[in-house]
Amino acid sequence: MLGRKHKLALIGMVAAIGLGAGLGGGLAQAADDGKNVIAYRQNVMKGIAAHITQIAMVAKGEVSFAGHVAANATAMANAAKIIPELFPKGTGEGEAGVPTEAKAEIWKDWDKFAAAAKNLEAQATKLAEVAGGGDVGAIGAQLGEVGKACGGCHEPFRTKKPE
């Protein structure tokens, strides 16, 4: 027989497992909502932009954190790996009821889109390698290649923001 303390502990564990399962179900539902997917995607892209900005500040000599470039570039490469997952069908311009700059061309030419994300990953990975040498000029040059990789996706697949 279980004592009172053991019974209470067992009830608490069962309740915690049930609560966890309930939250897990709620999280799965939220992940499928197009509005949430778009918000998540936009935050990932803002993160990539922040890493690029930080690296550019080093390349321009505005800050002396050259030792941080590899970490920023690696984070960008990791984010680039997940980009295709962030664009499920139904999350294009006007489809989920929230603004997005994602053009329908993403889903029309998926292979080109996925290749563009893969190119960003490759260029960011190379930037992380270049950063290991500490040569700010080389970092700046490779950052230019990363910028071209970003443009290789933005030009065909993103609606331009009004200026």
CATH number at residue 120: 1.20.120.10
Tell me which residue range forms the domain holding 7: 1-32
Proportion of the chain above pLDDT 90, given as a percent: 69
Query: Do 115 and 44 reside in the same domain of the chain?
Result: yes
Residue 138 tokens, joined:
């080389």
Task: Report how far residue 145's alpha carbon sits from residue 132's, in angstroms, rounded to the nearest whole number.
Answer: 17
What are the tens digits of pLDDT across the range 101-127? 999 999 999 999 999 999 999 999 999
Query: Do 40 and 3 reside in the same domain of the chain?
Result: no
Query: Do 144 and 124 reside in the same domain of the chain?
Result: yes
Query: Do 23 and 73 reside in the same domain of the chain?
Result: no
pLDDT at 89 over 70: yes
Residue 62 located in a structural domain: yes
Please state, rounded to an integer, the average pLDDT across all residues of the chain.
Answer: 85
What is this structure's pTM?
A: 0.79
Query: Do 99 and 86 reside in the same domain of the chain?
Result: yes
* pLDDT at site 10: 47
32-39 contact pairs (CB < 8 A, 24+): 33/96, 34/90, 34/91, 34/95, 34/96, 34/97, 34/98, 35/96, 35/97, 35/98, 37/86, 37/88, 37/91, 37/96, 38/91, 38/96, 38/98, 38/100, 38/102, 39/98
**Which residues lie across from 102 on neighbouring strands?**
158
Query: Do 26 and 100 reside in the same domain of the chain?
Result: no
Query: Do 84 and 139 reside in the same domain of the chain?
Result: yes
Query: Do 77 and 130 reside in the same domain of the chain?
Result: yes
Give the chain's domain count: 2
* pLDDT at site 153: 94
Query: Do 107 and 40 reside in the same domain of the chain?
Result: yes
* pLDDT at site 21: 46
**Mean pLDDT calculated for residue range 136-159:** 94
Residue 120 located in a structural domain: yes
Task: Report how far residue 112's alpha carbon sits from residue 110's, in angstroms, rounded to the nearest whole number.
Answer: 5
Query: Do 125 and 48 reside in the same domain of the chain?
Result: yes
Query: Do 69 and 122 reside in the same domain of the chain?
Result: yes
**Mean pLDDT calculated for residue range 96-100:** 89
Residue 163 located in a structural domain: no
**Mean pLDDT calculated for residue range 79-98:** 92
CB atoms within 10 A of CB 95: 15
pLDDT at 90 over 80: yes
Residue 162 located in a structural domain: no
Residue 24 located in a structural domain: yes
User: In the structure, what pLDDT confidence band is assigned to residue 4 with cuts at 50, 70 and 90?
Assistant: low
* Residue 99 backbone dihedrals phi, psi, to 5 degrees: -65, 140
Query: Do 12 and 78 reside in the same domain of the chain?
Result: no
* Residue 126 backbone dihedrals phi, psi, to 5 degrees: -65, -40
